[in-house]
Amino acid sequence: MFSYRHAFHAGSHADVLKHLTLIATLRHLMQKPTPLTMVDTHAGAGLYRLDGDYAETSGEAANGILRLAKLPTSKGAQPEDDALADYLEVIKAFNTDDVWRVYPGSPFVMHHLMSEADRASVRDRLKLFEIHPTDAKTLQGNIGQLEAGRQITVSAQDGFEGLKALLPPPPAPGGSRRAVVLMDPSYEIKTDYAKVHTAMQDAMRRFPTGVYLVWYPIIGRPEAHDLPRKLKTMAMQAERPWLHATLNVGAPAADTSGDPTRPDRRGLTSSGMFVINPPHPLKPALEAVLPKVLKALGNGSGQRWEVEAQRS
Ligand code: SAM
């Protein structure tokens, strides 16, 4: 039924944009002591080999995270001042030597930040959904190795549906509620675009102050172009701030990857992150680092980054 496996794409330029944005967002949110509910509606397997068959077949990590790993930029930079240095520090934490062999997916990125901020007391909750039976089992196995007593759950069910029961999140002792949701489908079937829109409409009705991050591929499909427009309209109608970041790493002249609409992301050169209720520092943080990311990952024509945002 589902053939998409994120192992082919782990550490790609799309993951770089997604996880950079996710980490910069979470860093800001975790400065407050109020408990945070984190939801990953499309979690994947959680941990990926960068030296395994999947990564080597696709070459996406080699043209993504492994190029960034060679940058000297992280040396001496303070993670809190440099979102790229922070991202690289997080990935580095999953690797024991200079040659990076492991890439953490979004569940482990979230767990890593949660562990750092949350070491003294069980504060935050992490809710993970993954529908592919094999990946859900792998994720469950990987997550099972984490410290006991944490409020982490893995559900092998539809994340669009599962999200409904989690919003609004439970109140903290002072009464305030906080949640951050990452929605990152594979867009293997084109109905995913409409499902994202519907799920976001529902989530905004249930919990308009949540922080929502949606990743999407920029490909030659009308649905892919419509999705950020629809999300922007939704945010503006709800009078909520939004941010839209895109990264196009370009295509080499000899690239004959063929049908740009194919959903398996081979040949994908461009993607976007749409964030509703982004923290204030996210825009300057991304504007500072995306030029550096593009310099390292860019190849051929069409290279471009953009960050657009509007406060409510
Ligand atoms: N968020 C992950 C990360 O950043 O590491 C990557 C997720 S990958 C792009 C999308 C995942 O969603 C795939 O593992 C796929 O099996 C899963 N999936 C597809 N449809 C789903 C659904 N309706 N509910 C939950 N998971 C789904």
Q: Does 19 count as an annotated binding residue? A: yes
**pLDDT tens track for 236-253:** 999 999 999 999 999 877
Q: Is 112 in the pocket of ligand 1 (CB under 6 A)?
A: no
Q: Does 149 count as an annotated binding residue? A: no
Residues 6+ positions from 235 with CB-CB distance below 8 Å? 241, 242, 276, 310
- Name which residue sits closest to atom 13 of ligand 1, judged by CA: 44
Model confidence at 263: pLDDT above 50: no
Residues 6+ positions from 294 with CB-CB distance below 8 Å? 247, 249, 303, 304, 305
Q: Is 38 in the pocket of ligand 1 (CB under 6 A)?
A: no
- Name which residue sits closest to atom 4 of ligand 1, judged by CA: 106
6-253+261-310: which CATH number, 3.40.50.720, 3.40.50.150, 3.30.70.360, 3.30.460.10?
A: 3.40.50.150
Model confidence at 308: pLDDT above 70: yes
Model confidence at 108: pLDDT above 70: yes
Q: Is 105 in the pocket of ligand 1 (CB under 6 A)?
A: yes
Model confidence at 76: pLDDT above 80: no
Instruction: State the pTM of this model.
Output: 0.93
Closest CA to 186 of 178, 177, 196: 196
Q: Is 158 in the pocket of ligand 1 (CB under 6 A)?
A: yes
- Residue 155 phi/psi, 5-degree rounding, is -120, 125
Catalytic residues: 184
Distance 137 CA to ligand 1 centre (A): 13
* Residues 97, 91: Cα–Cα separation, whole Å: 12
Domain extents for the chain? Answer: 6-253+261-310
Alpha carbon 126 to its chain centroid, in Å, reads 14
Q: Are 23 and 83 in contact (CB under 8 A)?
A: yes
252 burial level (CB within 10 Å; 0-12, 13-18, 19+)? exposed
